[in-house]
Amino acid sequence: MKKIDRYIISSILKTGTTALLLCTFMVIAVQLFLDMNNIISSDAKMFDIILLSVYGLPEYTMMVASISFLFATTYFLSQLVANNEMIIFYNTGLSYRRILRPIILLAICLSLLFSFLSENLFISMTKLKDMKRDEIFGRSSTHDNRNVNFLDTEEEYLLHAASYREKNQTLNNITIINYRDGNIVSRLEANRATFDEDKRVWDFSRVIIFNFVDDKIKIEEFSHYSDERYHLEPRLFKNLSGSIKSMPLEDARNYLYRMQKLDSRAYRENVVDLIDRLFSPFSVLILMLISCSMSYRFKKNVFLFSIIQSLCTAVVYYVAQMVLAITTKQGYSPEYIYLIGPIILIVAFVVFIRLIGFRNG
């Protein structure tokens, strides 16, 4: 039994690793082609381009890992059927479920390995790639933001700023509505606000405060004004589109916790990115399991039809992910639908394909 398990695991690993390398280098070639104009205009050195590709290897590997091992599993099982090796296994007393056991174990191990590497190596390599990319092409990364809106339910105020500049941690054209028990009690308007790192509060300049007391309006003007209630960290105002995928995990969780209370739109966008970051390594497990459950009962061209099945399955899975990511970010569907929706859809798709296989088998 151990020899059979080793044979199954080694066969899938060899095919999967080969497909992984080929697909990774294909992605590198496509990325270099897309960057060709930037490379020519920046007069980048060959060593820098090679180094940029090396830094991008982990990210590109994660992109094609699930497809590669889906192909490897499909190829192995289809060859067992096409070469009548499955009949030999059945005659020795092995059931189909027993044949799938080492494949499932391999899928779990690969997913856990990719998940570990993603959090401990791939993210740091991606940061290096982004830094190198900015250095080569002369771009500066920025987290400047526009039309910033936050609702602080703890301190009971609503903040709007026309823009946020990361370089000097400033907010421009700020309006703050203070409320209590559902009633507006004051309105603050300021030309600019700078974060005071020592006091951990915002220092507002050219301030006008409208206080609403007993149906009367009291107006106060200040050249500079600060209040302990206005203590939101500058990082909450940054435009962090995609950055949550490279944050330390604890920082990402804390950021989402605050954004859930302050800005529901930014929360939805970033929670989808975090889910994708945490669960994308397990797409290897999902697609390998789907490959194991597909039908291989075709009368002719077993390998061809099996590969078509696997490609269609991958397309359905990733298109469903893309569509549900858009609907979740826009608030039309909850976060858990983005997580389980593609799985449910491809399971239904595979069941449909199996019915066709049984009918034509």
Helix (H) or strand (E) holding 272: helix 264-279
What pLDDT, in 10s, does the model give residues 5-54? 888 999 999 999 999 999 999 999 888 888 887 777 777 788 888 888 88
pLDDT grade for 343, boundaries at 50, 70 and 90: confident
- What domain range is 109 assigned to? 2-139+272-360
User: Is 175 found in the same domain as 125?
Assistant: no
124: its two tokens: 């740091």
Number of domains in the chain: 2
Chain position carrying tokens 């989402």:
256
User: Is 281 found in the same domain as 231?
Assistant: no
Position 76 in a domain = yes
What pLDDT, in 10s, does the model give residues 53-75? 888 888 889 889 999 999 999 88
49 C-beta neighbours (distance < 10 Å), count: 16
**What is the structure's pLDDT at 189?**
93
Residues 6 or more apart whose Cβ sits within 8 Å of residue 178 = 156, 157, 184, 185, 186, 187, 188
User: Is 135 found in the same domain as 225?
Assistant: no
User: Is 96 found in the same domain as 133?
Assistant: yes
Contact criterion met (CB below 8 Å) for 109 and 16 = no
What pLDDT, in 10s, does the model give residues 135-161? 777 655 556 777 888 878 788 888 889
Position 102 in a domain = yes
Residue 252 scores a pLDDT above 80: no
Chain position carrying tokens 């308007």:
189
Contact criterion met (CB below 8 Å) for 128 and 55 = yes
What pLDDT, in 10s, does the model give residues 213-232? 877 888 899 999 998 888 88
Contact criterion met (CB below 8 Å) for 346 and 316 = yes
